[in-house]
Structure 1
């Protein structure tokens, strides 16, 4: 059994199409989607059309939640940009998405942690805003009570897998469409993957054991970078061009 895992598309329709083409080339037709679908200065509406047509098992991320719960005037720049493109039926689709989901009775889907879509799980921050791998105790703590052999999360855009002490596998597939960002909460920090490629993961089960393969897919990322620059978002333009926020 093989299942493709996508997350954090952020309105990047070209990256999504490249990832979906690679998934098809792998002969995989089972795909799960971990949220944060549209937020960003890119092509939110076209991304929505692609996802709604595919009807993958999907959950909502924090930005999806904000897109349907906040007034545009109260949104951040990326959410406001996406909201201006989305049609009512796109927002209605977001409203149907649950915060967590169980797929095939073995795979638990969440965006941040099982308890909260805003909390980093496999990564943590120092008080100075340095992103680092989370501690074993913290990772195990968030997994308490999640009695499934595979747990999937997104949110940080950093591909990573952790095998828990009892053998459960936690996987963050990385971001399809946003290879770098900064955030002011809980302290200012940057997340930079160092590559403009689209990222996703393939989880596979053989003889009752689950494993993961991470995929990085090149696509014409400069088209999307130029679009972000045209829309006044130099931070996005830099991240999309290089995977770094400083160009």
Structure 2
């Protein structure tokens, strides 16, 4: 059994198509999507259409929830950049996505943590830095009774963490956006340092799983031009470099 794991596409159809092409080489038995599918200034409607047609098991991300359920005046910029290019059928699809899914026995899909789609599972944000969360912090976020393997996204940071009790957390990184800044719970910046689209591959092996992170070339300059044309210089820099705008080399 081979599982491909995608997350945080954020309407970046160019990156998604490059990952789909790469998947043909990896030949997974199952592809799963951990949410935050369409929000952002790139190609939200076309991305929604592509994902609906693909029919992959998908869970709801926090931005999926915002864009499908909030009034416009309550939306953030990721949602207002996208909402006018989404059809009612796209919003219906987002609303129907579950918060959690179990694609296989012993495997749980969530966007962020099992209980909350806005909380990093494997990262701890303080007033001065974002660091890998402790074993105890991650276990607390997971709660009791979660399966041995938890697939999560949200932070856009590729991670593989094995807890003392044997549970494993796998974050494939983001398909569509490699840097951003946020203000919750403290102002912080997330950066992967390169513009490549990212996803993960998990293989069943004797006694467990084997994990790999994939980094895929695509035309990130074209994606950056779309962001710039939409007035989003922050996205343009992040897409082109993998660094946040204020820290771009």
Shorter chain as normaliser: what TM range?
A: over 0.9
Q: How many residue pairs get matched?
A: 246
Q: Which one is further off, 35-44 or 101-110?
A: 101-110
Q: In 2, distance between residues paired with 1:220 and 1:32?
A: 24
The residue aligned with 1:102 is 102
Detail structure 1 runs of 4+ shifted over 4 Å in the superposition: none
State how far apart, in whole Å, the 2-side matches of 1:72 and 1:182 are: 22
Deviations 1:17-39 (A, max 9, x none): 11111111111141000000011
Q: TM-score, normalised by structure 1?
A: 0.97
**How big is the alpha-carbon RMSD for the aligned residues of Structure 1 and Structure 2?**
1.0
Unaligned runs of 5+ in 2: none
Distance 1:167 1:139 in 2: 12
Residue in 2 that maps onto 1:32: 32
Matched, 1:225 2:224: yes
Q: Give the 3-state SS of the residue equivalent to 1:151 in structure 2.
A: strand
Q: How does 1:76-115 map to 2 (within 5 A)?
A: 76-115=76-115
Output the CA distance in 1 between the equivalents of 2:64 and 2:146: 26
Output aligned runs, 1:1-247, within 5 Å. Answer: 1-128=1-128, 130-246=129-245, 247=248
Q: Supply the distance in 2 between the matched residues of 1:208 and 1:36 (Cα, whole angstroms).
A: 32
TM-score (normalizing by structure 2): 0.96
CA contact (8 A) 1:23 1:29 kept: no
SS of 1:161's equivalent in the other structure is strand
Structure 1 residue 90 displacement after superposition: 0.3
Q: Secondary structure at the match of 2:234?
A: helix
